[in-house]
Amino acid sequence: MNHPQIRVAVAATTTQRVTVNLFGFLNCEKPPGMTSRDLVNVVSRRLGKKTKVGHAGTLDPLAEGVLVLGVGPAVRLIPYLQQQPKRYRAIFRLGQSSESGDLEGPITDHPDLPHPSEASLQQAARSLVGTIEQTPSAYSAIWVDGQRAYKRARAGEVVAMPTRQVQIDSLQIDRYEFPEFEFETVCGSGTYIRSLGIDLARAAGSMAVMSYLKRLAVGPHEAQNSISLERLREDDLSIMLSPCAPSIAHLRQIKVDPDQCRRLGHGLCIDGSPLPDSETPNQEAAAVTGDGQLRAILKWKDEAWFPRKVFPIDEGQL
């Protein structure tokens, strides 16, 4: 059975063609060697030019794993999904370095560097948990002056990368067999795992290159439930969409009745009480119907909740 907010059939036209409005997220499995844009293009071609598609968090071409796509109006929710934590698994090789920080560039061996103990690696990992300063690799997918950094670096440009603050919630060394170590991390948006592993090796007195990276989860979207490229190309995408509300579960929810839904649909505010942290500027909440449909993103101002983003719902379900 289709979720009422995922697939909404619109009245047939005189030519008996039926338009289907899609609204939700696709939890896709990006294979290595493909860019995030390539995967978006696969889905866009299936759905046609009238349906917007966007991805939540770029994966470098060498990486694999979860790439969540927003479909239809859900594209407007991508910044909120980006606020959810991400989980990665990575493998690094100690005693080596490269300009790209991975195996794609020419590798330089450093045989004179010490072999860190497992205890020193674990200690280094603990030192990188929390809010840290990070300088992404010039071969990352970050935008610099309107172009992906890795494209400029591969063209031979010297790219000055900005330092940023990122949040590392956990960083656990799961395997260490010199020269390789493997870790799993839960982190916030904007974290570059390649830089994290290199910083970890440096903190343990060595250098490293990344040999493998997989994104295991973005918020509630996990790798074991992701959709393969083959299925994205061949199967009915509408039945694979996930509803939007779980993807923004970190926002406070406000239940709205049918009258409030109609007001929000007309751009009008609804009465209500501020959330406990109402002193926070630009406080936002999600307006959700009794059956779990996301109606709007709300903003508290002037003692009322105003719609910031409004989304379609199946009013027959109210």
d(CA 123, CA 96): 21
* Element housing 185 (H / E): strand 180-187
Point out which residues pair with 92 in neighbouring strands.
Answer: 181, 210
- Between the alpha carbon of residue 120 and those of residues 114, 116, 142, 196, 227, the distances in Å are 11, 6, 31, 16, 39
Measure the CA–CA gap between 156 and 192, rounded to whole angstroms: 21
Catalytic-labelled residue, pool 60, 235, 271, 314 = 60
For residue 215, which phi and psi values (nearest 5 degrees)? -85, 120
Q: Residue 201, by phi and psi: left (phi above 0), alpha (psi -120 to 50) or beta?
A: alpha
Judge whether 60 counts as a catalytic residue.
yes
HEC readout, 197-251: HHHHHHHCCCCEEEEEEEEEEECCEEHHHCECHHHHHHCCHHHHCECCHHHHCCC
Q: Give the residue from 200, 184, 177, 228 showing the smallest Cα distance to 42.
A: 228
CA distance 283 to 251: 10
Q: Which residues are catalytic?
A: 60
